[in-house]
Amino acid sequence: MTATHATQATNAALHDRKNAATPRGVGVMCDFYAERALNAELWDVEGRRFIDFAAGIAVVNTGHRHPKVIAAIREQLDHFTHTAYQIVPYASYVELAEKINERAPGDHPKKTAFFTTGVEAVENAIKIARAATGRAGVIAFTGGFHGRTMMGMALTGKVAPYKLGFGPFPGDVFHAPFPNPLHGVTTADSLKALDHLFKADIDPKRVAAIIFEPVQGEGGFNPAPAEFVRALRKLCNEHGILLIADEVQTGFARTGKLFAMHHYDVVPDLMTIAKSLAGGMPLSGVVGRAEVMDAAAPGGLGGTYAGNPLAVAAAHAVLDVIDGEQLCERATALGDRLKAKLLELQGIVPQIADVRGPGAMVAAEFCEPGAAHTPDAAFAKRVQTKALEHGLLLLICGVHSNVIRFLFPLTIEDAVFDEALAILEDVLKETVAVTA
C-alpha cells in the first residue's frame, strides 16, 4: 500500500484487513492506524490527533521525526544502506561504540557490540557472560521483562501474555523476587530468596550472570533500591558472577540520567541498550568490560542487520540531541511536574496507591481503596480507555496489569504536555465518578 492509498483508507477497513492478513498473537492496543507523527503528536488515517504518551514504548525519547535524526538518516542514504558490518565495516559503527564506551558507567576499559533488537542484546549479553565465565546459570527476577525469544521469555518474570503456550524454555534460568515495597517485598526478602536459591537450586559457582532492570519496565516501573543493587554487586564479586543491567527501556535520558545505572554507586559488568538509542530506527547493543566483551570467539557475535548504518547514523544524532537539548534535565523537570499532578489527584482518586519512578520514567499504580493494596486492573484499563477516547495514548504494565506508565517524548512541547496533564486529570476524575 502506498502512502497515498493509506491516507484514503478508513480505520475500520484497515482493521478488517489486519485481522485477515496478520496473526492475533501480535497484540495491537489501538483500533486506529497512524498516518503521520511529529514530536509528541500523531494523526491517524482519518485525521484524528493524539498526544503520544507511549513514544513507541520508550523508543522515541527524542520525539517523532526529530529534524536532526531525519537529516542524519538522509545523509547516510547518500552513501550506503547496508554492507553487513561483519563483511565490510564502516567508521560510524566504530565511532558510535567509542561514544557509548565513554558514556557508560565506570572508568574501566569498555567495548560495545551492536545488534538490532532489545532481546538480541539480552541474548548476546547472556552468551558473552557464559563465554567469559565458563558457567551456564542465569538469575533473573519476578516482574522483569527481557524480550520474546526463547531465552528472553525464560528470563522474563511475567507469564501472561509473554509465555503462554510457548514452553519449554531454556534451562539453568532461575528467578528471585524483585523488591516491591507496596506489595510487601523488601530488599531483605529478595536477598534472602537469593540465598535460598544458592542453597536449594543452584551452586553460585555455576552462575554466569545476574540480570536485572534498574527500573523494571513491563513489571510496573519498579525502581531497584540502591541497597539492593549494592548487594547484587557484592554477591557477584563474592562468587565470580557477572552483573548485567538491562537498560533497554531505562536508557538514553529517560530516568534523568543518560543511563539509569548512573543513579547508583556501583557499576555493572555488562549493560544492554536499545529502544531510544536510535530514535525509532532498530538498533541495540551490549556494552561492558573490555575483557568480558572479548570472551566470545570471532564470529560468535553479530547478525546480518546488526549495527545497520542508517540506524547508527540516527544514534549519533540522538546523542547529539540529548546533549544539545539537555534532555536529562528536561526528563527530571517534566517527570516532577507529572508526579506532582498525580500526587495532587491522589486525594480525590483513592485508587492511586503509588506514584513512582526516576526522571520521566513515571508510573501510577492503581489498587482498590483501602490498606490491602489489592491490584485494580479494571480501574487502570478504564483510565487507559477513557484517555484514548480523549486523544491521549497511555500504556498499562505491571504483573497485575494495574499500572499506567507515562512515556512521553522528552522533547514534548510545554503546551502539549500541559494539554496532556489536563486530559489526564479529567479522565481520572471521570473514572472515579463512574466507579463510584
What does the pLDDT look like over 350-387, one tens digit per residue?
Answer: 999 999 999 999 999 999 998 778 999 999 999 999 99
My answer on whether 343 and 204 are in the same domain is: no
Shared domain check, 294 and 278: yes
Confidence (pTM): 0.96
If asked whether residues 148 and 237 sit together in one domain, one would say: yes
CATH code of residue 195: 3.40.640.10
Number of separate domains in the chain = 2
Instruction: Specify whether the CB–CB gap between 212 and 139 falls below 8 A.
Output: no
Q: What is the DSSP string of 50-93?
A: EEESSHHHHT-TT-BT-HHHHHHHHHHHTT-S---TTTS--HHH
Grid cell, residue 97, equals: 561504540
- 52 and 173 belong to one structural domain: no
55/189 same-domain check: no
Domain span including residue 284: 69-324
**What is 344-393 written as a DSSP string?**
HHTTT-TTEEEEE-STT-EEEEEB-SSSS--B-HHHHHHHHHHHHHTTEE
The CATH number of whichever domain residue 391 belongs to comes to 3.90.1150.10
Distances in whole angstroms, Cα of residue 349 to Cα of each of 9, 352, 357, 427? 40, 6, 19, 11
405 and 314 in a single domain? The answer is no
Q: Of 324, 351, 367, which one is at a domain's C-terminal end?
A: 324
Bond from prior residue into 67 cis (ω within 30 degrees of 0): no
Instruction: Report whether pLDDT(5) > 70.
Output: no
Give the model confidence (pLDDT) of 227-285 as tens digits: 999 999 999 999 999 999 999 999 999 999 999 999 999 999 999 999 999 999 999 99
Last residue of some domain: 279, 295, 324? Answer: 324
Grid cell digits, residue 19: 485481522
Cα–Cα distance measured from residue 131 to residue 82, given in angstroms and rounded to the nearest whole number: 29
Q: How far apart are CA 65 and CA 180, in angstroms?
A: 37
Cell of 370: 483501602
- Integer Cα distance of 416 and 41 in angstroms: 8
Claim to verify: residue 284 and residue 385 sit in the same structural domain: no
User: Hey, what's the cell of 180?
Assistant: 516491591
pLDDT tens readout for residues 89-146? 999 999 999 999 999 999 999 999 999 999 999 999 999 999 999 999 999 999 999 9
